[in-house]
Each structure stands twice: as structure tokens, then as C-alpha cells.
């Protein structure tokens, strides 16, 4: 299970959406989060296995029940074919980072050693710096970035999280699943307890 605490009491949730590959889809989706003042912590978009469809994976921060409600509203969008909140499920997830770090001759050996330990690949090397790629979970990438700081980070470029359900689903672990079959009882959302009507 991915780590999904952000350290400030908010929860991160991973939402996967299959959407029609059309202009404006991302704006419609991000609008539903923006409306509530939520930050999208990471976002990855790409063509899916189905022609004309893209897959989006978001990591969003906010109260669980509100995010679940937003996910139900996402499914209401015409261009959204399927939405799944896969946070609590048995998923495989990865992020990719390109890290450009200062690596003059005297420290290059140490930097390469760290890259080796973290199974990062060096993809470019210059006289004073090198760039490595690393994929994995957020904590793994965070910790490599932390260790490389003392050498002088020149640039850190991270993709959003991409995630998929594992091939074998364990029975009873389907919490947070928003299927696009609207009559499905998994639509029974937890209740929000916020203040009502303020005007």
C-alpha cells in the first residue's frame, strides 16, 4: 500500500480516471478540485490501451470523504468514462524523477555510488554535473533527493504518480472503488460533517 499521509494531517488519495482524449477534459476535471480549493499533488496523463481514451492518475490532498464526493462528481462529467479511487487498494505505483546533480571529479565517485545503491541510472554526464533517472515510490525518490542535496542539486524533475491495480484483487478490499456503473451500490458515500449553508 502506498504511503498516503502528507505529514500535515491531510490525506493523499490516488484517483485513476479513464477519459476521452479530447480538448478541455483536464480543465473540466481540475475545475472540480479547484472549486473546493484542493491542491493536485501530482498528475500524470497519457494515452491508454483503448483508442481515443487517456488515463489520468491524480494524487490529491484533502479530507477523504470530500475527495470521495469529488470523485463521484468526476464520474458525472460527460468525457469521463470511469473513475476509481484506488488509494486503499492493492496497487502498483511508480514515479519517475530526473535529477541533475553537481558532480565534479572529486565527488563524482560518491554520487555514482549513491545512484548505484538506489538503482538509479545515469542518463547524462557532463564535466561538472550528471543526470540520473530513478523510478519508484515517493519515499525512495525523496530520500535519494535528500542525500544528493549536499553535492548540490541543480534540477529535480519529477513525474506524477502512475498507478494500477494488481492483477489479483483480494476479496473485500474494494473500498473506495467508484465504478462507472451508476446503479452500483459502491456509490454510497461517507457523509461530510462540515458546516452547512453559510449564506
Partner 1 sequence: MSKNLTGSQIVCEALLKEGVSVVFGIPGGAILPLYGVLSQYPGLRHILSRHEQGAAHAADGYARSTGTVGVTFATSGPGATNLVTGLATAMMDSVPMVAITGQVGRAAIGTDAFQEADITGATMPVTKHNYLVMRADDLGRTVHEAFHIARTGRPGPVLIDIPKDVFMEMGEYDPDEPIDLPGYSVPGKAEESQIEAAAKLINEAERPVILAGHGVVLSRSFDELKELAEKAQIPVVTTLLGISSFPEDHVLSTGFPGMHGMAYASLAIDQADLIINFGSRFDDRIVGDAKRFSTGSKKIHVDIDPAEINKSVHVEAPVVGNIKDVFAQLLPKVEKTTHVEWLQRVEHLKAEHPSLKIPESDHLMGQHVVKALSDVTKGEAIITTGVGQHQMWAAQHYQFKNANSWLSSGGAGTMGYEVPSAIGAQVGNPGKLVWSICGDGGFQMTMMELATAAENNLPVKYAILNNNHLGMITQWQTFFYNEDYQAETYTGNPDFVKLAEAYGIKGIRVTSQDELEAAIAEANAHDGPVVVDFVIEKVDNLYPMIPVGQSIEELIEDPD
Using CB under 8 A as the binding criterion, the count of chain residues that bind partner 1 stands at 36
Say whether residue 190 binds partner 1 (CB under 8 A).
Answer: yes
In the complex, what is the shortest distance from the CB of residue 158 to partner 1, in angstroms, rounded to a whole number?
28
In the complex, what is the shortest distance from the CB of residue 143 to partner 1, in angstroms, rounded to a whole number?
39
Nearer residue to partner 1 within complex by CB, 116 or 192: 192
For the chain, what's the residue count? Answer: 199
Cβ–Cβ under 8 Å, residues 43 and 160:
yes
Reduce the DSSP state of residue 108 to 3 states and report it.
helix
Nearer residue to partner 1 within complex by CB, 105 or 191: 191
Say whether residue 41 binds partner 1 (CB under 8 A).
Answer: no
Alpha-carbon distance 147 to 33, whole Å?
Answer: 34
With CB under 8 A as the contact rule, the residue among 76, 119, 149, 150 that binds partner 1 is 76
Nearer residue to partner 1 within complex by CB, 61 or 75: 75
Alpha-carbon distance 103 to 152, whole Å?
Answer: 8
How many other C-beta atoms can be found within 10 angstroms of the C-beta atom of residue 113?
Answer: 10
Say whether residue 47 binds partner 1 (CB under 8 A).
Answer: no
Say whether residue 197 binds partner 1 (CB under 8 A).
Answer: yes
Q: Please identify which residue in the block is written with the cell numbers 500524470.
A: 44
In the complex, what is the shortest distance from the CB of residue 36 to partner 1, in angstroms, rounded to a whole number?
12
Buried b (16+ CB within 10 A) or exposed e, 17-40: bbbebeeebeeebeebbeeeebee
Helix orientation angle between 64-76 and 25-34, rounded to the nearest 10 degrees: 150
Nearer residue to partner 1 within complex by CB, 38 or 118: 38
Alpha-carbon distance 22 to 29, whole Å?
Answer: 12
Say whether residue 31 binds partner 1 (CB under 8 A).
Answer: yes
Say whether residue 170 binds partner 1 (CB under 8 A).
Answer: no
Say whether residue 112 binds partner 1 (CB under 8 A).
Answer: no
Residues of the shown chain interacting with partner 1 in the complex, contacts defined by CB under 8 A? 19-20, 23-24, 27-28, 31, 35, 53, 69, 72-73, 75-82, 180, 182-183, 185, 187-193, 195-199
Amino acid at each position: 500500500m502506498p504511503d498516503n499521509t502528507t505529514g500535515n494531517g491531510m490525506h493523499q488519495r490516488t484517483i485513476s480516471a479513464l477519459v476521452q482524449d479530447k480538448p478541455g477534459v483536464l480543465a473540466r476535471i481540475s475545475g472540480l478540485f479547484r472549486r473546493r480549493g484542493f491542491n493536485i499533488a501530482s498528475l500524470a496523463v497519457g494515452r491508454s490501451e483503448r483508442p481515443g481514451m487517456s488515463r489520468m492518475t491524480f494524487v490529491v490532498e484533502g479530507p477523504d470523504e470530500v475527495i470521495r464526493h469529488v470523485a463521484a462528481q468526476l464520474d458525472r462529467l460527460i468525457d469521463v468514462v470511469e473513475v476509481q479511487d484506488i488509494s486503499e487498494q492493492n496497487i502498483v505505483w511508480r514515479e519517475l524523477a530526473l535529477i541533475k546533480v553537481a558532480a565534479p571529479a572529486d565527488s563524482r565517485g560518491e554520487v555514482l555510488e549513491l545512484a548505484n545503491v538506489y538503482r538509479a541510472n545515469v542518463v547524462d554526464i557532463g564535466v561538472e554535473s550528471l543526470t540520473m533517472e530513478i523510478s519508484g515510490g515517493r519515499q525512495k525518490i525523496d530520500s535519494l533527493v535528500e542525500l544528493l542535496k549536499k553535492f548540490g542539486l541543480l534540477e529535480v524533475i519529477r513525474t506524477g504518480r502512475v498507478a494500477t491495480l494488481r492483477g489479483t484483487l483480494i476479496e473485500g478490499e474494494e473500498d473506495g472503488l467508484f465504478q462507472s456503473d451508476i446503479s452500483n451500490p459502491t456509490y454510497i458515500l461517507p457523509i461530510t460533517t462540515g458546516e452547512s449553508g453559510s449564506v
